Structure 1
Amino acid sequence: MAAVFTNPARGASAMPMESIIAPRRCPERTVLGRVASIMEAFNTGQQVLSLGDLSERTGLPKSTLHRLADQLCDIGWVERDPGGYRVGMRLFELGTLAVEGNRLQEAAFPHLQSLANKTGMSAQLAILDETEVVYLDRIAVGPFRLPTRRGGRKPAYCTALGKAMAAFDDEAIRVVTSSRMPRKTANTITDPLVLRTELNRVREVGVAFDRGEAYAELVCVAAPIRGSGCAVGAVSVTGPAGRMRWSMASEAVHDTAVAIWNASLRFRSAGPRT
């Protein structure tokens, strides 16, 4: 993973029916509760459920189930099948994202600590979910309060973490640059062509910068966690502009990203814990 640092200022088996989840005779009244009961109904060895199956397992009327199931199909959480409905690929993708994210977080934690100690700035770990950055972990340093949180999301186009990951994935570049990019600050890049140029530069130098593009008072340097392919995540340091030492931070996040990638490989080779 080559890097050239620059100054940014310049540029399942079937189960017997007795073991299946008992029908819910008093379903949740909220829409979210009803959706949750539908998704939990698939928590059996039976992959395809008819409308009648769903009604029996959730206690919801078929008219309500039909409406909600159609909406879930629209967002990919459920898919239509000749026999009824099955869990959608989008939900599988999100579940995989969660598992991989947990492994990455565990592998990265000690390196995040070291990065924060070395730079004296807050360190953050994130993954990319389409046009958004999802924060897996962070270590806050100093009195400055970060506007991010574990599990929180921010747009990829105006964050160093997002740019660091998108730059190494042609499809991600297409998705991010074709999405809405509302102005957050005076420094936010809102022109798709300018953002593409920025992402090409990130691919060349190996680090990404946020020059007050998401929050005027904050700057950030990030590096992708990757081998020879797409990034599995990114790591960054962030803080007030007056405290950022760009060259030192660039080298530090790059070295940390390499260390996390190597650590994640060891976690994968070790296999799941029993």
Structure 2
Amino acid sequence: MSSSSVRGVSATPVESIIEPLRECMVSMGSGHGKETGDRRSPERTVLGRVASIMEVFNGGQQVLSLGDLSDRTGLPKSTLHRLADQLCQVGWLERDPGGYRVGMRLFELGSLAVEGHRLQETAFPYLQALAAKTGMSAQLGILDRTEVVYLERIVVGPVRLPTRRGGRQPAYCTALGKAMAAFDGEAMRAVVSSPMPRRTANTITESFALWTELDQIRKVGIALDRSEAYEELVCVAAPIRDSGRAIGAVSVTGPAGRMRWRMATEAVHSTAAAIWNASFRFGSAGARM
């Protein structure tokens, strides 16, 4: 999922990802070994050192040499060289003739975080209205490569959904994922060519069958999950888009016996259109044309 053309984003993608990244690293890295007290200083753990490297790119200088990194982090050049090479391997840094710059993968993650937060804020009242109208749980998701990332959900009734905010599910067997992949040629090819293990008796596992369904979704603008991800749960989803790629998708989901397909289809379609209009009008989420 390309997020680099998001409109209305004031914070840079690097700034949006560094702080949560540091918090995560400090939390994960602080429990290894013992120093003064029962915990090592985060800066002395591998994850803490990685965080300190990434933080120095917050300034205006885009390319930093190994010497620059050493001066700003206080880490030995030998340690920096080893960690920087590893960060290049995962795409968080990229090599440059002058040293290192922030990698595209980190840019994508930061853009995804910024876009997702703003889309969630815009969509929340519409999801509440959708859940109230249909009596079903409403969900909002975005596409990250071949997976759906759940930004928000409004749960209705006693049914416990297997999804959660911030959780992920494969796109090939979810209505949200299919609704978004159908309108993104690159994502569509990636989803169709990815592994599709059978999860229920209704899961689509053949590439041609999935390609055919995605092509049909492009024509009608609605995607269905007929108990393809979980037994007894069904879903109807619509992409949040105008004439370009989807910036997300919205769905209603619940037990198969309670789904009123025609009403749910109309409701998610109108809700997706309302979220798009609100997002485009207020610049809360960008249209990727």
Structure 1 distance, partners of 2:273, 2:161, is 25
2:135 maps to: 120
* Residue-by-residue CA offset, 1:126-176 (whole Å, 9 max, x unaligned): 111111111111111111111111111111111100000000111111111
Q: 1:80 to 1:113 in 2, by over 3 A?
A: same
Which residue in 1 is equivalent to 2:160? 145
d(CA) in 2 for partners of 1:154, 1:135? 8
- Aligned with 1:60 (options 65, 75, 79): 75
Q: Does 1:99 align with 2:81?
A: no
* Closer/same/farther in 2, CA of residues 269 and 237 from structure 1, 3 Å limit: closer
> What is the Cα deviation at residue 55 of structure 1?
2.6
Structure 1 residue 182, shift from structure 2 partner:
1.9
What one-letter code is carried by the residue in structure 1 that aligns with 2:65?
S
1:40 is displaced (CA, Å) by 1.0
C-alpha displacement of 1:27? 5.2
Q: CA deviation at 1:29?
A: 4.3
Partner of 2:17: none
- Contact 1:27 1:59 survives alignment (8 Å): no
Q: 1:159 and 1:45, CA in 2 relative to 1: closer, same or farther beyond 3 A?
A: same
Please, which of 220, 225, 236 is the counterpart of residue 221 of structure 1? 236
Q: Give 1:256's aligned residue.
A: 271
Range with bigger deviation, 56-65 or 205-214 = 56-65
Q: For residue 79 of structure 1, what is the aligned residue in structure 2?
A: 94
Q: Distance in 1 between matches of 2:188 and 2:265?
A: 22
Distance 2:49 2:237 in 1: 40
Q: Please, which of 178, 191, 210 is the counterpart of residue 193 of structure 2?
A: 178
Match of 2:169 in 1: 154
**Maintained 8 Å contact 1:27/1:58:** no
TM-score when normalising by structure 2:
0.80
Identical pairs, percent: 81
Residue type of the partner of 2:49?
R
Kindly indicate whether the alpha-carbon contact (under 8 Å) linking 2:122 and 2:284 is maintained by their aligned counterparts in 1: no
Does residue 40 in structure 1 map to residue 42 in structure 2? no
Deviations 1:112-138 (A, max 9, x none): 011000010110011111111111111
Q: Which residue identity does 1:33 align to in structure 2?
A: G
Measured after TM superposition, the shift of residue 194 of structure 1 is: 0.9
Q: What SS class does the counterpart of residue 180 from structure 1 fall into?
A: coil
Residue aligning to 1:210: 225
- State the partner residue of 2:204: 189
Shift of 1:73: 1.4
- What secondary structure is seen at the aligned counterpart in 2 of 1:257? helix
Is 2:246 the partner of 1:200? Answer: no
Kindly indicate whether residue 277 of structure 2 is the aligned counterpart of residue 268 of structure 1.
Answer: no
Is residue 122–residue 238 contact of structure 1 (8 Å, CA) maintained in 2?
yes
Identify if the C-alpha distance between structure 1 residues 76 and 86 changes in structure 2 by more than 3 Å, giving closer, same or farther. same
Runs of 5+ unmatched residues, structure 2: 1-11, 13-40
Amino acid across the alignment from 2:217: V
Q: 1:83 to 1:270 in 2, by over 3 A?
A: closer
Q: Distance in 2 between matches of 1:55 and 1:182?
A: 46
Change (3 A) 1:212 1:264: same
Query: What's the TM-score, normalizing by structure 1?
Result: 0.84
Greater CA deviation, 253-262 or 99-108?
Answer: 99-108
The structure 1 residue matched to 2:179, chosen from 158, 161, 164, is: 164
Q: Which secondary structure does the structure 2 equivalent of 1:189 belong to? A: coil
Q: How far off is 1:270 after superposition?
A: 11
